[in-house]
Amino acid sequence: MGASGCSAARFLAEKGARVRVTESASTPGLDTREADLDRAGIRAETGGHTREFCGDPFMVVVSPGVDLRMPEIAAVIPRGAPVIGELELGAMYCAASMVAVTGTNGKSTTVELIGHILNSSGRQAVVCGNIGIPLTSVACDLNEDSVAVVEVSSFQLETVRNFKPRIAVLLNVSDDHYDRHENYDRYKKEKLRIFINQDENDYALVRSCLRDDVLAEKMRGKIICFDRTDINMDAAEIPLKGEHNIENVRCAVTASRLMGVAERQIHSGIRNFKTLDCRFESLGTFNGIEYIDDSKATNIDATKRALESMAKRAVLIAGGRGKGGDYRRILPIIREKVKAMVVIGESREKLISIFSNIIPVIAADTMKEAVECASREAVAGEAVLLSPMCSSFDMFKNYRERGEAFRKEVLP
């Protein structure tokens, strides 16, 4: 009964379907959503999934957070019932061209930039999907002249059947979500599903290092390596900083060109693009120390990319709820770029055991304490970087709330 599930339920009800919604949680706030669904003629149950309530459905639509391997999920889905996700449902009714973007890191920035460039050029583009606006909530408002720029997660790709983007993008693949996917190869397989329904009239955009993976899966879209794209702009004109963001810009430029946007319009869109919160965002310099909010770095590779972009040494604030990756992969860049580390959240003991042999590691109980500790460790000319390597759900509702807590302690 989150944004995706409620949107799918209302969408189906508006199409004349009889809909039931089953939710395992019974947290505060669900009563309001249940009442909203009831007013739309949609029955709901909370606190668990029961076979009696689910009955014998014609179709099952699962939210991205639902792991179909869980016994309690399998027990309520009748054998043979088609199972799709909200993304697939929205795509079934979407007349617009679709540009879909997946990857471990950089998805939100890339879809926002593509959407901004298209809208700036005069096209009607809507950014939706995993970024927070379900495709089902906008699909029927779009026409053949519109563009749906869709952020797509590996969880959403698990249940696609006929999802067919005009342009499909795989930005990168690195360790993440091993709490859901079995291993790296399985995780990569799920990401590659973004290409499975494309044909020779569609485009598959990938980094050069992933081209062979796409070829091995016999995908039929025209493969273009966006990391070879020439941006033809001075670096000072690009508001997004860091080499990882330059890759995102190259991808957005390539996609926009394929959508027919003129070069001058692309450059204009990039110049006036406003960077997203919590993504390698400089909050300012105080007492000679720069404070950078990279709360969106919820996996190891994202923090590695942030550190690679640092021109100065940093005191790193990290930790939260781990996702099963190997932190030792980041040891070389930690040794090179990090002066000290302040750790918070459920993973802090693990981070202490791994990194305390090479740098000082300090444990903190709150974000306030973490910022105070980091500020004492840093000196003028260095930076305090919040780049957690972990999800935020042990201490915060989401990465935005974590970033806001950091911002509150930093800004005067």
DSSP for 320-378, written as a single string: SB--S--GGGGHHHHHHHEEEEEEESTTHHHHHHHHTTTS-EEE-SSHHHHHHHHHHH-
- The DSSP code sequence of 138-169 is TGGG--TTEEEEEE--HHHHTT-SS---SEEE
pLDDT at 78: 87
Provide the CATH number for the domain around residue 201.
Answer: 3.40.1190.10
Asked whether residue 276 is domain-assigned, the answer is no
Tokens of 68: 């179909």
Overall average pLDDT of the 398-408 stretch: 96
Q: pLDDT digits over 116-168, tens only?
A: 999 999 999 999 999 989 999 999 999 999 999 999 999 999 999 999 999 99
Q: How confident is the model at residue 178 (pLDDT cuts 50, 70, 90)?
A: low
Task: Report strand pairing: 60-62 vs 203-206.
Answer: unpaired
Same domain, 242 and 366: no
Asked whether residue 223 is domain-assigned, the answer is yes
pLDDT at 69: 86
Q: pLDDT digits over 267-307, tens only?
A: 999 999 988 788 899 999 999 999 999 999 999 989 998 99
Whether the CB-CB separation of 163 and 88 falls below 8 Å is answered with yes
Provide the CATH number for the domain around residue 37.
Answer: 3.40.50.720
Q: How confident is the model at residue 335 (pLDDT cuts 50, 70, 90)?
A: very high
State which of 208, 243, 271 marks the end of a domain.
271
Alpha-helical runs (H) found in 218-356: 243-258, 263-271, 300-308, 331-337, 348-355
What residues make up the domain containing 223? 87-271
Q: What percent of the chain has pLDDT over 90?
A: 85
Same domain, 296 and 393: yes
Q: What percent of the chain has pLDDT over 70?
A: 98
pTM of the complete model:
0.84
Is the pLDDT at 177 greater than 60, yes or no?
Answer: no
- What's the CA gap between 55 and 49, in Å, rounded? 11
Is the pLDDT at 237 greater than 60, yes or no?
Answer: yes
Q: pLDDT digits over 9-34, tens only?
A: 999 999 999 999 999 998 888 999 99
Q: How confident is the model at residue 193 (pLDDT cuts 50, 70, 90)?
A: very high
Burial class (CB in 10 A: 0-12, 13-18, 19+), 69: exposed
Same domain, 56 and 124: no
Same domain, 390 and 320: yes
Domain count for the chain, please give it.
Answer: 3
Q: How confident is the model at residue 175 (pLDDT cuts 50, 70, 90)?
A: low
State which of 57, 81, 105 marks the end of a domain.
81
Same domain, 102 and 224: yes
